[in-house]
């Protein structure tokens, strides 16, 4: 399945039905009077967050959503039928922005969450509503009220407990595959990950968390370099970040500072999230290199640094346990 995390769509709620002019005409009843009914209400536009979706791909092919018009009134004081609600199902974590792409209108971040986004127009009054003691035979009926319409942007921010960040080829996809049942593309060249991936990490029968892998960042990503910072929104909701660094490539402190700089430039509180620094590919380093690079990272960051090899399955369980403890503590 292809991944799409942004889409622009057009929405229009239904117009209200028209009221009618009608009079009661029955045998032996000389003055029947007005009995024109009101129009029915137009259909609403409702969004619902559902669990079995993880992409906005459907909105690439269906971009216009129009609810039905309410039914017109009829004689004998019959009110027109209300139009059905148009339900639009979106993945959990979908945000709805105005056409300016900056004004947040709604955030569907919980399973089953529903919002009435656009209300249908009210039905118009039939002539029975205008009968008074001085106007016994009104010939006035109102049209239904028009519905609402607008263009909006949908943006998906995946719901995950922990997020993987790092330079391209740091081993993030390999780590995700080793820690969960996810099967991301893995290759020995940069930018093999082109869209976010999710995996469920199960430590025991009762302990699990969701891990998100996003495409690698490079210096200047916040200005559009590489794949840009577009996918950083998918780790905004994470309780903790796993900063993966390729230990075999050397210059580990520069790599750490590059990603920290991009997180700070992006904003959204990413640079303030709890971070676990992990030196990856320990099986491609000598013990002396491991000790030296770990000490350099610890001194530069002032934080705990762990060492592992995702490809060799060395130290992965210890890293996952540390991440779970951070997620559990943050969620409290």
Q: List, for residues 103-116, the tens digit of each pLDDT value.
A: 999 999 888 999 99
pLDDT of residue 185: 52
Please state which of the four CATH numbers 3.40.50.410, 3.20.20.70, 3.30.360.10, 3.40.50.300 is assigned to the domain occupying 162-331.
Answer: 3.40.50.300
Q: How far is CA 81 from CA 17, 75, 134, 197, 306, in A?
A: 8, 14, 31, 46, 65
Query: What backbone phi and psi angles, to 5 degrees, belong to 240?
Result: -150, 155
Q: Where are the domains of the chain?
A: 1-156, 162-331
Least confident of 37-41, 79-83, 230-234, 257-261: 230-234
Residues 6 or more apart whose Cβ sits within 8 Å of residue 200: 180, 181, 208, 209, 210, 211
User: Do residues 117 and 96 lie in contact, with contact meaning Cβ atoms separated by under 8 Å?
Assistant: yes
User: Binding site for Mg(2+): residue ranges?
Assistant: 173, 193
Question: Cα dihedral sign for 178, 179, 181, 186?
Answer: negative
The CA distance from 94 to 292, in Å, is 44
Mean pLDDT within 41-61: 89
Q: What is the helix, strand, coil percentage profile of the chain, to 5?
A: 25, 25, 50
pLDDT at 186 over 80: no
Least confident of 108-122, 134-148, 267-281: 267-281
- DSSP assignments along 123-141, one per residue: PPPPGGGG--SS-SS----
The CA distance from 50 to 46, in Å, is 13
- H or E element that contains 261: helix 252-266
Q: Are strands 240-246 and 275-280 parallel, antiparallel or unpaired?
A: parallel
pLDDT at 223 over 80: no
pLDDT of residue 206: 78
Mean pLDDT within 202-223: 72
Question: By percentage, how much of the chain surpasses pLDDT 90?
Answer: 32
pLDDT of residue 90: 93
Higher pLDDT, 107 or 170: 107
User: Binding site for GTP: residue ranges?
Assistant: 166-173, 191-195, 213-216, 280-283, 309-311
91: helix, strand or coil: strand
What is the layout of strands, in order, in the sheet containing 86-91? 86-91, 45-50, 114-118
Nearest to 111 by CA among 56, 48, 24: 48
Q: Taking the model in full, what pTM does it have?
A: 0.74
DSSP 232: G
Dihedral angle, C-alpha 85, 120, 146, 95, nearest 10 °: -90
pLDDT of residue 216: 64
Mean pLDDT within 262-283: 83
Count the Cβ atoms, other than its own, within 10 Å of residue 203.
14
Nearest to 115 by CA among 49, 181, 165: 49
pLDDT of residue 226: 47
The dotted CATH code for 1-156 is: 2.70.210.12
| Mean of the per-residue pLDDT values of the chain | 84
Identify the band that residue 170 occupies on the pLDDT scale cut at 50, 70 and 90: confident
pLDDT at 91 over 80: yes
User: Binding site: residue ranges?
Assistant: 166-173, 191-195, 213-216, 280-283, 309-311
Identify the band that residue 189 occupies on the pLDDT scale cut at 50, 70 and 90: very low
Query: What backbone phi and psi angles, to 5 degrees, belong to 263?
Result: -65, -40
Query: What backbone phi and psi angles, to 5 degrees, belong to 290?
Result: -60, -50
């Amino acid at each position: 399945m292809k991944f799409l995390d942004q889409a622009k769509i057009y929405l229009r709620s239904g117009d209200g039905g028209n009221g009618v002019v009608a009079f009661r005409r029955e045998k032996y009843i000389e003055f029947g009077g007005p009995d024109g009914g009101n129009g029915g209400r137009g259909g609403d536009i409702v969004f619902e967050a559902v669990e079995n979706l993880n992409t906005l791909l459907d909105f690439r092919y269906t971009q216009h959503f129009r609810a039905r018009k309410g039914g017109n009134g009829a004689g004998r004081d019959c009110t027109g039928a209300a139009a059905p609600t148009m339900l639009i199902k979106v993945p959990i974590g979908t945000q709805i922005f105005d056409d300016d792409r900056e004004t947040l209108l709604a955030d569907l971040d919980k399973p089953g969450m529903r919002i009435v986004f656009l209300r249908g127009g009210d039905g118009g009054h039939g002539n029975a509503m205008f009968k008074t003691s001085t106007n016994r035979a009104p010939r006035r009926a109102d049209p239904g009220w028009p519905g609402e319409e607008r263009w909006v942007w949908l943006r998906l921010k995946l719901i995950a407990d922990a997020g993987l960040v790092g330079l391209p080829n740091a081993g993030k996809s390999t780590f995700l595959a080793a820690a969960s049942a996810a099967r991301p593309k893995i290759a020995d060249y940069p930018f093999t990950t082109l869209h976010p991936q999710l995996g469920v990490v199960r430590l025991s029968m009762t302990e699990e968390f969701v891990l998100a892998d996003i495409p690698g960042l490079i210096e200047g990503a916040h200005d559009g370099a590489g794949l840009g910072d577009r996918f950083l929104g998918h780790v905004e909701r994470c309780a903790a970040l796993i900063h993966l660094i390729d230990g075999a490539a050397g210059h580990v402190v520069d790599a750490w500072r590059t990603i920290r700089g991009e997180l700070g430039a992006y904003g959204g509180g990413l640079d303030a999230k709890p971070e676990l620094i992990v030196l990856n590919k320990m099986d491609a380093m000598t013990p002396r290199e491991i000790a030296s690079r770990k000490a350099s990272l610890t001194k530069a960051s002032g934080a705990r640094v762990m060492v592992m090899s995702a490809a060799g399955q060395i130290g992965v369980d210890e890293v996952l346990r540390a991440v779970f403890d951070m997620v559990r503590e943050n969620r409290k």
